[in-house]
Structure 1
Amino acid sequence: MEHGDNHITVIDEDGNEELCEILFTFESEEFGKSYVLYYPVSAEDEDEDGEIEIHASSFIPGEEQGDLKPIESDEEWDLIEEMLETFLGEDEE
């Protein structure tokens, strides 16, 4: 993972680089990890309804070019979904 201001470059399983915008990051003491929610900058990733697919990964903070790790448990996904709902709810106010 390389990152600039509000962007990261993510390399997919095929080795393709994709520029993504960071939606937000947060830390979880419960899981001892940090999480990043992001979405591809390219507009081609919008679905038929014009919605953008948001991706989530975990990472170890402080690493200059840390690796994004997959989310491994349902409990982590529940936490991420809860944080996203809170984030999106604040956005609407």
Structure 2
Amino acid sequence: MAHEHVHEEEQYITLINENGDEELFEILFTFDSEEFDKSYVLCYPVGDVDDEEEVMVHAYAYTPTEDGSIGELEPVMTDEEWDIIEEVYNTFTMDEEEEE
């Protein structure tokens, strides 16, 4: 029984990259982890989607705002958190492939 709830809404967020430039990211999905009492967002740079190559997916932790939107993004710090993110991502991508 999974404690992660995956939400899929078409959404975009703007992140500042290492060069200080704004970059538009499309949100792949967000999910909540009861284990860490945090929410996570997985996103990828808009325009990078090419079926031939692996898309660079970024993951961040966040605390939802009162209206349910994504608030301040925080880096993911622990290996345990990365393990959960990877597990949810793998499940998500397997589901996507089965639907096609």
TM-score bucket (shorter structure): 0.7 to 0.9
Aligned in 2, Cα 1:27/1:65: closer, same or farther, shift over 3 Å? closer
Partner of 1:91: 96
Match of 2:75 among 70, 74, 85: 70
- Report the TM-score, using the length of structure 1 for normalisation: 0.82
Higher RCO by CA contacts (8 Å cutoff, separation 6 or greater): 1
Deviations 1:52-85 (A, max 9, x none): 1100000001166622100000000000000000
Is 2:61 the partner of 1:58? yes
Partner Cα distance (1:32, 1:87) in 2: 20
Q: Which runs of 5+ in 1 are unaligned?
A: none
Alignment length (residue pairs)? 87
**Candidates 19, 25, 42, aligned match of 1:20:** 25
The C-alpha deviation readout for 1:26-61, integer Å capped at 9, x for no partner, is 001110110000000033x86xx5211100000001
3-state SS of paired residue (2:73): coil
- Give the percent of matched residue pairs that are identical in Structure 1 and Structure 2: 53
Judged with a 3 Å threshold, the aligned counterparts in structure 2 of structure 1 residues 65 and 27 are, in CA distance, closer, same or farther, namely closer
Paired letter, 2:42:
L
User: Where does the alignment leave 5 or more consecutive residues of structure 2 unmatched?
Assistant: 1-9
- The CA distance in 1 between the partners of 2:70 and 2:37, in whole Å, is 19
Q: Could you say which residue in structure 2 is the equivalent of 1:33?
A: 38
Does residue 87 of structure 2 align to residue 82 of structure 1? yes
Looking at structure 2, the residues matched to 75 and 12 of structure 1 have their Cα atoms a distance apart, in angstroms, of 25
